[in-house]
C-alpha cells in the first residue's frame, strides 16, 4: 500500500479561490489521493470549490469539503490530527513524528495534517483539536507551508519504503 493513500492534507480557513486550487493541485501532483478543504470561506467557497471538483474528477482523485476541523476527525477517525504551524508562530510545537506517521499508514490507519489558509493561523480552540507540529523549518505559512511540508512528508515516506 502506498503510504500517501492514508495521509490526508487539510487546508483550513482559506478565503482565496486561487490558493485553494493551487493547494489541491500540488497535493494531487505530489501523490496524495485525497484533499480536504475545511471551513472554506468567501471566493474560495463560491469559485474555488466548483473548480476543485473538476480538478479532482479529471485527476481521478478524492475531494472532501467539510464545515470545520472537528468534522475531519469525525469522518476519518484518524490515528492523529496534526496541525502544521510555522516555526516562527510562537506556538509550542514538536517536529512531525515521521516514524509514527509511517507506522500508522503502514498499518492502514489515517493521518490528517492540517494547514491554516488564513491569517493569523489556527485559533487557540483549533489548536486544541490536534497536535501542533513543525514540519519544515522555513518561515512559510499558508499555501507555501502546505506545499513544502506535504512534499517533505511524501519524499521521506517514499524513501523509507524503497
pLDDT per residue, tens digit, the chain (162 aa), is 788 999 999 999 999 999 999 999 999 999 999 999 999 999 999 999 999 999 999 999 999 999 999 999 999 999 999 999 999 888 999 999 999 999 999 999 999 999 999 888 999 999 999 999 999 999 998 999 999 999 999 999 986 554
Question: Which cell is 112 given?
Answer: 490528517
Rounded-to-10 torsion of CA 17, 18, 19, 21: 80
Looking at the structure, give the CATH architecture of the domain made up of residues 3-161.
3-Layer(aba) Sandwich (3.40)
Looking at residue 67, what DSSP letter applies?
S
The domain ranges of the chain are 3-161
Cis, bond preceding 120 (omega within 30 deg of 0) = yes
∠ CA 155-160-161, nearest 5°, is: 105
Rg of the chain (C-alpha set): 14
Amino acid at each position: 500500500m502506498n503510504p500517501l493513500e492514508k495521509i490526508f492534507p487539510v487546508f483550513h480557513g482559506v478565503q482565496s479561490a486561487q490558493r485553494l486550487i493551487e493547494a489541491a493541485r500540488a497535493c494531487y501532483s505530489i501523490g496524495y489521493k485525497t484533499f480536504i478543504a475545511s471551513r472554506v470561506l468567501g471566493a474560495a467557497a463560491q469559485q474555488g470549490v466548483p473548480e476543485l471538483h473538476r480538478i479532482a474528477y479529471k485527476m481521478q482523485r478524492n475531494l472532501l469539503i467539510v464545515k470545520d476541523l472537528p468534522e475531519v476527525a469525525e469522518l476519518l477517525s484518524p490515528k492523529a490530527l496534526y496541525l502544521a504551524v510555522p516555526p516562527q508562530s510562537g506556538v509550542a510545537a514538536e517536529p512531525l513524528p515521521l516514524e509514527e506517521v509511517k507506522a500508522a499508514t503502514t498499518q492502514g490507519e489515517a493521518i490528517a495534517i492540517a494547514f491554516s489558509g488564513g491569517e493569523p493561523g489556527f485559533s487557540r480552540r483549533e489548536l486544541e483539536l490536534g497536535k501542533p507540529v513543525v514540519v519544515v523549518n522555513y518561515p512559510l505559512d499558508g499555501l507555501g507551508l502546505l506545499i513544502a511540508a506535504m512534499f517533505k512528508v511524501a519524499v521521506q515516506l517514499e524513501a523509507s519504503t524503497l
